[in-house]
Amino acid sequence: MSETIRLDDKLVGKDQPAYIIAEMSANHAGSKERALEIIRAAKDAGADCVKVQTYTPETMTLDSDKKWFKIDKGTWEGENLYSLYQKAYTPWEWQEDLKKEAEKIGIDFFSTPYENTAVDFLEDLGVEFYKVASFSITNLPFLKYLAQKDKPIIMSTGMATLAEIDEAVRTIREVGNEQLALLNCSSAYPSIADDMNLKNIKNLEETFGVPVGLSDHSLGSVAAVTSVAMGAKIIEKHFCMSREIENPDSSFSMEPDEFKKMVNDIRAAERAIGKIDYSISEKEKNSRIFRRSIFAVEDIKAGEEITEENIKIIRPGFGLKPKHWDNVLKTKAIKDIEKGTPLSWSMIK
């Protein structure tokens, strides 16, 4: 078990800022130039990393029109699996250039392989860490093969029961790979708030002793920012240049300005979370004068009794603290006290 993992030159996990991944997926819409543009835009939007997916239609499914290969509901309703993957996949011959572009501009680059030949390809490419998609979490032979590369693995847990997650984690650890992070995930496209169960983040962290984050397919940034407040250390969001560029992922992807705002909100949330600290900041010290304290609200002559009629607990805080109220009542003024004067011990007997 490890509370942190290293992704390229960054530590991810306990006491570290959230690692933010821009998922390209199909948003290149068949254009290598757009894929390169997405990498540059992700960097400008504040992402730590850009992710692609490495598969071909043939490595994912069978070219068949039988009913089992048809999608009958959801975002891709009516699609045939093989034709969907034809539209969505990132050509392998692009990926070396995409990685070089990421390295040139200073953003991390990695991929989601779906079977062993994709892992071999990415190993030859020199990818330093991997993503396991929710749909692969039960493919234990594949997880074992990937884990044997002894590189960090970020694994999404969408659709998985706790038992299935445990089985996948044990499969990775049994080959000696402890470089693992888990992402809470709702594998619906788009996800809705009712299905996200962000409380799983803390539970996954406590159960498996690994860094935990969120693979977020919901619209907007509320879930991502909230998850950081709940302990998420990795945020993955689909990223596009424009949702008007149609592709299988565009409808639930973030445009650059939206992604940048999300990043800024996450960083602001991290600053607000801060640390356990009850010391008083300089700004708070300046505000303390607006607490209530005991003031004379009538002119009080020397020798006159202090009563509820001639003193009150009001703002600002220059007088005796309210906790002294009972001790002050029925004492006597030892000098004249003008209305509007903060009470002090030197004024009463």
Q: Identify the three-state secondary structure at position 65.
A: coil
In the chain, which segments carry CATH 3.90.1210.10? 282-347
Cβ atoms of 267 and 17 closer than 8 Å: yes
pLDDT for 187 equals: 63
CATH of 8-273, one of 3.40.50.150, 2.60.40.420, 3.20.20.70, 3.40.50.970: 3.20.20.70
Instruction: Quote the pLDDT of residue 188.
Output: 61
Q: Does pLDDT of 194 surpass 80?
A: no
pLDDT tens digits, one per residue of 86-135: 888 999 999 999 999 999 999 999 999 999 999 999 999 999 999 999 99
Residue 170: CB atoms within 10 Å: 12
Model pTM? 0.85
Q: Which of 20-24, 67-71, 263-267 has the lowest mean pLDDT?
A: 67-71
Which residues are within 8 A (CB) of 308 and not within 5 positions of it... i.e. 6 or more apart?
A: 329
Angle between helices 162-174 and 140-147 (to 10 degrees): 40
User: Given a cut of 70, is residue 76 above it in pLDDT?
Assistant: no
In contact, 342 and 293? CB cutoff 8 Å:
yes
pLDDT of residue 72: 77
pLDDT band at 1; cut points 50, 70, 90: low
> Is 282-347 a domain of CATH 3.40.50.10890?
no
The letter for the amino acid at 315 is R
Domain with CATH 3.20.20.70 in the chain: 8-273
Parallel, antiparallel, or unpaired for β 19-23 and 49-54? Answer: parallel
Predicted local confidence at residue 186, as pLDDT: 74
Strands (DSSP E) contained in the chain are 4-7, 10-13, 19-23, 49-54, 108-113, 130-132, 153-156, 180-185, 212-216, 234-238, 293-296, 311-314
